[in-house]
Structure 1
Protein backbone atom coordinates (compact mmCIF):
# COMPACT_ATOMS: atom_id res chain seq x y z
CA UNK A 1 0.00 0.00 0.00
CA UNK A 2 2.85 2.42 0.77
CA UNK A 3 4.41 1.81 -2.66
CA UNK A 4 1.40 3.10 -4.62
CA UNK A 5 2.27 6.83 -4.56
CA UNK A 6 5.78 6.23 -6.00
CA UNK A 7 4.25 3.93 -8.62
CA UNK A 8 1.69 6.57 -9.54
CA UNK A 9 4.38 9.25 -9.62
CA UNK A 10 6.43 7.02 -11.94
CA UNK A 11 3.41 6.51 -14.22
CA UNK A 12 2.79 10.26 -14.31
CA UNK A 13 6.43 10.84 -15.24
CA UNK A 14 6.20 8.18 -17.94
CA UNK A 15 3.00 9.72 -19.36
CA UNK A 16 4.71 13.13 -19.33
CA UNK A 17 7.61 11.61 -21.28
CA UNK A 18 5.11 10.27 -23.82
CA UNK A 19 3.81 13.82 -24.31
CA UNK A 20 7.40 15.09 -24.64
CA UNK A 21 8.02 12.66 -27.52
CA UNK A 22 5.36 14.54 -29.50
CA UNK A 23 6.22 17.98 -28.08
CA UNK A 24 9.99 18.08 -27.42
CA UNK A 25 9.98 21.65 -26.07
CA UNK A 26 7.92 20.51 -23.06
CA UNK A 27 10.16 20.79 -19.99
CA UNK A 28 10.70 17.82 -17.67
CA UNK A 29 8.12 17.28 -14.93
CA UNK A 30 10.04 18.21 -11.79
CA UNK A 31 7.64 16.77 -9.20
CA UNK A 32 4.98 14.33 -10.45
CA UNK A 33 3.75 14.03 -6.86
CA UNK A 34 2.56 17.65 -7.02
CA UNK A 35 -0.23 16.56 -9.36
CA UNK A 36 -1.59 13.94 -6.95
CA UNK A 37 -4.27 14.86 -4.44
CA UNK A 38 -5.30 18.49 -3.98
CA UNK A 39 -6.18 20.11 -7.26
CA UNK A 40 -6.79 23.52 -8.68
CA UNK A 41 -10.39 24.06 -9.73
CA UNK A 42 -9.19 26.08 -12.72
CA UNK A 43 -6.93 23.28 -13.96
CA UNK A 44 -9.30 20.42 -13.32
CA UNK A 45 -10.52 18.70 -10.21
CA UNK A 46 -9.64 15.14 -11.18
CA UNK A 47 -6.28 13.68 -12.11
CA UNK A 48 -6.39 12.09 -15.56
CA UNK A 49 -4.38 12.07 -18.78
CA UNK A 50 -6.57 14.94 -20.02
CA UNK A 51 -5.56 17.00 -17.01
CA UNK A 52 -1.92 16.00 -17.50
CA UNK A 53 -2.11 17.30 -21.06
CA UNK A 54 -3.69 20.50 -19.69
CA UNK A 55 -0.68 20.86 -17.36
CA UNK A 56 1.62 20.24 -20.35
CA UNK A 57 0.05 23.28 -22.04
CA UNK A 58 1.18 25.33 -19.02
CA UNK A 59 4.65 23.73 -19.28
CA UNK A 60 5.05 24.69 -22.93
CA UNK A 61 3.77 28.20 -22.20
CA UNK A 62 6.40 28.52 -19.46
CA UNK A 63 9.14 27.21 -21.79
CA UNK A 64 8.13 29.82 -24.38
CA UNK A 65 7.90 32.61 -21.81
CA UNK A 66 4.18 33.05 -22.49
CA UNK A 67 1.83 34.24 -19.76
CA UNK A 68 -1.11 31.89 -20.32
CA UNK A 69 -3.14 32.70 -17.20
CA UNK A 70 -4.12 35.64 -15.03
CA UNK A 71 -6.04 36.10 -11.76
CA UNK A 72 -3.54 34.00 -9.78
CA UNK A 73 -3.61 31.22 -12.37
CA UNK A 74 -7.40 30.84 -12.48
CA UNK A 75 -8.20 32.57 -15.79
CA UNK A 76 -6.84 30.74 -18.85
CA UNK A 77 -6.46 33.18 -21.73
CA UNK A 78 -6.34 32.83 -25.52
CA UNK A 79 -2.57 32.21 -25.43
CA UNK A 80 -3.33 29.11 -23.31
CA UNK A 81 -6.01 28.21 -25.83
CA UNK A 82 -3.61 28.43 -28.79
CA UNK A 83 -1.13 26.03 -27.15
CA UNK A 84 -3.96 23.71 -26.07
CA UNK A 85 -4.99 23.54 -29.71
CA UNK A 86 -1.41 22.52 -30.66
CA UNK A 87 -1.56 19.67 -28.12
CA UNK A 88 -4.86 18.33 -29.48
CA UNK A 89 -7.31 19.76 -26.98
CA UNK A 90 -10.75 21.18 -27.84
CA UNK A 91 -12.50 23.97 -25.99
CA UNK A 92 -15.72 25.93 -25.77
CA UNK A 93 -16.24 28.83 -28.18
CA UNK A 94 -16.68 31.35 -25.39
CA UNK A 95 -14.55 31.64 -22.24
CA UNK A 96 -15.96 30.83 -18.80
CA UNK A 97 -16.39 34.08 -16.81
CA UNK A 98 -14.00 33.08 -14.03
CA UNK A 99 -11.70 30.41 -15.53
CA UNK A 100 -11.53 31.43 -19.19
CA UNK A 101 -10.59 28.55 -21.48
CA UNK A 102 -9.47 26.15 -18.73
CA UNK A 103 -12.06 23.49 -19.59
CA UNK A 104 -10.34 21.68 -22.44
CA UNK A 105 -11.03 18.13 -23.62
CA UNK A 106 -9.16 15.57 -25.68
CA UNK A 107 -9.99 15.43 -29.36
CA UNK A 108 -10.78 11.92 -30.65
CA UNK A 109 -7.54 11.81 -32.67
CA UNK A 110 -5.54 12.88 -29.60
CA UNK A 111 -7.21 10.14 -27.57
CA UNK A 112 -6.22 7.60 -30.27
CA UNK A 113 -2.64 8.89 -30.36
CA UNK A 114 -2.19 8.48 -26.61
CA UNK A 115 -4.47 5.43 -26.06
CA UNK A 116 -1.76 3.17 -24.51
CA UNK A 117 -0.60 6.00 -22.24
CA UNK A 118 -4.18 6.85 -21.22
CA UNK A 119 -4.93 3.21 -20.38
CA UNK A 120 -1.70 2.73 -18.40
CA UNK A 121 -2.23 5.93 -16.39
CA UNK A 122 -5.90 5.12 -15.73
CA UNK A 123 -4.87 1.73 -14.31
CA UNK A 124 -2.30 3.38 -12.01
CA UNK A 125 -4.87 5.97 -10.90
CA UNK A 126 -7.40 3.25 -10.04
CA UNK A 127 -4.78 1.39 -7.99
CA UNK A 128 -3.81 4.60 -6.20
CA UNK A 129 -7.45 5.44 -5.42
CA UNK A 130 -8.07 1.93 -4.08
CA UNK A 131 -4.94 2.05 -1.93
CA UNK A 132 -5.63 5.48 -0.44
CA UNK A 133 -9.45 5.41 -0.20
CA UNK A 134 -9.39 4.26 3.41
CA UNK A 135 -6.48 6.48 4.47
CA UNK A 136 -7.83 10.03 4.74
CA UNK A 137 -4.76 11.25 6.64
CA UNK A 138 -2.78 11.55 3.41
CA UNK A 139 -2.45 15.10 2.14
CA UNK A 140 -0.70 16.17 -1.03
CA UNK A 141 0.08 19.61 -2.43
CA UNK A 142 -1.18 20.19 -5.94
CA UNK A 143 -1.22 22.67 -8.80
CA UNK A 144 -2.23 25.60 -6.59
CA UNK A 145 1.35 25.60 -5.30
CA UNK A 146 2.56 26.20 -8.87
CA UNK A 147 0.57 29.43 -9.02
CA UNK A 148 1.83 30.60 -5.64
CA UNK A 149 -1.73 31.20 -4.53
CA UNK A 150 -4.72 29.42 -3.14
CA UNK A 151 -6.53 30.53 -6.29
CA UNK A 152 -8.54 33.39 -4.86
CA UNK A 153 -9.56 32.21 -1.42
CA UNK A 154 -8.88 29.96 1.53
CA UNK A 155 -9.43 26.31 0.72
CA UNK A 156 -11.45 24.23 3.14
CA UNK A 157 -12.09 20.51 3.33
CA UNK A 158 -15.25 19.25 1.61
CA UNK A 159 -16.39 15.65 2.14
CA UNK A 160 -18.56 13.34 0.00
CA UNK A 161 -20.84 10.47 1.05
CA UNK A 162 -18.08 7.84 1.03
CA UNK A 163 -15.71 9.95 3.13
CA UNK A 164 -13.29 11.10 0.43
CA UNK A 165 -12.30 14.75 0.70
CA UNK A 166 -11.06 17.61 -1.44
CA UNK A 167 -9.79 21.09 -0.62
CA UNK A 168 -11.88 23.75 -2.29
CA UNK A 169 -12.58 27.48 -2.10
CA UNK A 170 -16.18 27.75 -0.76
CA UNK A 171 -17.19 30.22 -3.50
CA UNK A 172 -16.15 27.67 -6.15
CA UNK A 173 -18.26 24.98 -4.50
CA UNK A 174 -21.18 27.41 -4.35
CA UNK A 175 -21.05 27.89 -8.16
CA UNK A 176 -21.92 24.25 -8.89
CA UNK A 177 -21.69 20.87 -7.13
CA UNK A 178 -18.44 18.92 -7.29
CA UNK A 179 -19.40 15.26 -7.47
CA UNK A 180 -17.33 12.32 -6.20
CA UNK A 181 -16.44 9.86 -8.96
CA UNK A 182 -16.68 6.94 -6.51
CA UNK A 183 -20.01 7.45 -4.72
CA UNK A 184 -21.60 10.01 -7.08
CA UNK A 185 -22.49 12.21 -4.07
CA UNK A 186 -21.64 15.94 -4.03
CA UNK A 187 -18.80 17.17 -1.84
CA UNK A 188 -20.09 19.30 1.06
CA UNK A 189 -18.30 21.47 3.59
CA UNK A 190 -19.00 20.04 7.08
CA UNK A 191 -21.14 22.36 9.22
CA UNK A 192 -18.99 22.09 12.33
CA UNK A 193 -15.23 21.75 12.10
CA UNK A 194 -14.87 19.39 15.06
CA UNK A 195 -11.66 17.74 13.88
CA UNK A 196 -8.38 19.59 14.19
Structure 2
Protein backbone atom coordinates (compact mmCIF):
# COMPACT_ATOMS: atom_id res chain seq x y z
CA UNK A 1 0.00 0.00 0.00
CA UNK A 2 2.85 2.38 0.82
CA UNK A 3 4.31 1.88 -2.65
CA UNK A 4 0.93 2.05 -4.36
CA UNK A 5 1.20 -1.53 -5.63
CA UNK A 6 -2.03 -3.45 -6.14
CA UNK A 7 -1.04 -6.92 -4.97
CA UNK A 8 -4.50 -8.50 -4.81
CA UNK A 9 -7.48 -8.96 -7.06
CA UNK A 10 -10.95 -10.52 -6.79
CA UNK A 11 -12.00 -8.23 -3.92
CA UNK A 12 -8.69 -8.74 -2.12
CA UNK A 13 -8.93 -12.54 -2.00
CA UNK A 14 -6.39 -13.42 -4.71
CA UNK A 15 -2.71 -12.57 -4.11
CA UNK A 16 -1.07 -11.90 -7.47
CA UNK A 17 2.52 -12.02 -8.80
CA UNK A 18 3.22 -8.54 -7.38
CA UNK A 19 2.42 -9.88 -3.91
CA UNK A 20 4.81 -12.76 -4.54
CA UNK A 21 7.56 -10.37 -5.69
CA UNK A 22 7.14 -8.18 -2.59
CA UNK A 23 7.25 -11.24 -0.35
CA UNK A 24 10.40 -12.54 -2.03
CA UNK A 25 11.97 -9.10 -1.64
CA UNK A 26 11.45 -9.44 2.13
CA UNK A 27 12.91 -12.96 2.15
CA UNK A 28 9.65 -14.89 2.43
CA UNK A 29 8.84 -18.15 0.70
CA UNK A 30 5.54 -18.04 -1.19
CA UNK A 31 3.66 -20.91 -2.78
CA UNK A 32 0.66 -20.80 -5.07
CA UNK A 33 -2.80 -21.80 -3.83
CA UNK A 34 -5.42 -22.68 -6.45
CA UNK A 35 -8.13 -20.48 -4.89
CA UNK A 36 -6.09 -17.75 -3.18
CA UNK A 37 -3.14 -17.13 -5.49
CA UNK A 38 0.30 -16.59 -3.93
CA UNK A 39 -1.01 -16.80 -0.37
CA UNK A 40 0.82 -19.75 1.18
CA UNK A 41 3.60 -17.86 2.94
CA UNK A 42 6.40 -19.06 5.23
CA UNK A 43 9.44 -17.48 6.83
CA UNK A 44 12.70 -19.37 6.18
CA UNK A 45 15.14 -19.64 9.08
CA UNK A 46 17.67 -17.25 7.51
CA UNK A 47 14.97 -14.57 7.14
CA UNK A 48 13.76 -15.24 10.67
CA UNK A 49 17.31 -14.68 11.91
CA UNK A 50 17.71 -11.51 9.83
CA UNK A 51 14.53 -9.99 11.30
CA UNK A 52 14.86 -11.57 14.77
CA UNK A 53 14.76 -8.30 16.73
CA UNK A 54 11.78 -6.96 14.79
CA UNK A 55 9.89 -10.26 15.11
CA UNK A 56 10.47 -10.37 18.87
CA UNK A 57 9.22 -6.80 19.21
CA UNK A 58 6.13 -7.57 17.12
CA UNK A 59 5.42 -10.72 19.15
CA UNK A 60 5.57 -8.69 22.38
CA UNK A 61 3.39 -5.86 21.06
CA UNK A 62 0.77 -8.18 19.55
CA UNK A 63 0.35 -10.03 22.84
CA UNK A 64 0.41 -6.84 24.89
CA UNK A 65 -2.35 -5.22 22.85
CA UNK A 66 -4.38 -8.28 21.86
CA UNK A 67 -6.52 -8.12 24.97
CA UNK A 68 -8.17 -4.85 23.95
CA UNK A 69 -8.88 -4.28 20.29
CA UNK A 70 -9.42 -0.71 19.09
CA UNK A 71 -13.00 0.09 18.24
CA UNK A 72 -14.47 -2.56 20.54
CA UNK A 73 -16.44 -1.26 23.46
CA UNK A 74 -17.00 -3.65 26.33
CA UNK A 75 -17.48 -7.35 26.04
CA UNK A 76 -20.55 -9.32 25.15
CA UNK A 77 -23.74 -7.45 24.35
CA UNK A 78 -25.97 -10.18 25.81
CA UNK A 79 -25.80 -12.93 28.42
CA UNK A 80 -27.65 -16.02 29.50
CA UNK A 81 -28.05 -15.01 33.13
CA UNK A 82 -31.74 -14.16 32.85
CA UNK A 83 -33.57 -11.83 35.21
CA UNK A 84 -33.39 -11.97 39.00
CA UNK A 85 -36.88 -12.42 40.46
CA UNK A 86 -38.12 -13.07 43.98
CA UNK A 87 -41.22 -13.49 46.07
CA UNK A 88 -42.26 -11.95 49.38
CA UNK A 89 -40.47 -14.61 51.46
CA UNK A 90 -37.08 -13.40 50.21
CA UNK A 91 -36.16 -16.33 47.95
CA UNK A 92 -34.69 -15.31 44.62
CA UNK A 93 -34.33 -17.16 41.34
CA UNK A 94 -33.14 -16.34 37.85
CA UNK A 95 -35.63 -16.73 35.03
CA UNK A 96 -35.78 -15.84 31.36
CA UNK A 97 -37.10 -12.43 30.38
CA UNK A 98 -40.16 -14.15 28.86
CA UNK A 99 -41.00 -16.01 32.09
CA UNK A 100 -40.51 -12.84 34.12
CA UNK A 101 -42.80 -10.83 31.81
CA UNK A 102 -45.48 -13.56 31.89
CA UNK A 103 -46.52 -12.82 35.45
CA UNK A 104 -45.56 -12.85 39.12
CA UNK A 105 -43.14 -15.40 40.61
CA UNK A 106 -44.47 -17.42 43.59
CA UNK A 107 -42.89 -20.01 45.90
* TM-score normalised by structure 2 residue count: 0.55
Q: 1:127 maps to what in 2?
A: 64
CA drift at 1:78: 1.5
Of structures 1 and 2, the larger Rg is shown by: 2
Report whether the alignment pairs 1:113 with 2:47.
no
Instruction: List per-residue Cα deviations over 1:73-103 (Å, max 9, x = no partner).
Output: 11011221122111111012xx212210122
Distance of aligned partners of 1:59 and 1:106 in 2 relative to their CA distance in 1, 3 Å threshold: farther
- Report the Cα distance in structure 2 between the residues aligned to 1:120 and 1:70, rounded to whole angstroms: 31
Q: How many residues align?
A: 72
* TM-score normalised by structure 1 residue count: 0.32
Gaps of 5+ in 1: 1-57, 140-196
What SS is found at the alignment partner of 1:123? helix
Kindly report structure 1 stretches of 4+ aligned residues shifted beyond 2 Å: none
Q: 2:13 maps to what in 1?
A: 74
Instruction: List per-residue Cα deviations over 1:117-159 (Å, max 9, x = no partner).
Output: 1111111211223x33xx8x817xxxxxxxxxxxxxxxxxxxx
Q: Which has the higher strand share?
A: 2
Gaps of 5+ in 2: 74-107
Aligned alpha-carbon RMSD (Å) = 2.3
Q: 1:99 maps to what in 2?
A: 36
Q: Which has the higher helix share?
A: 1
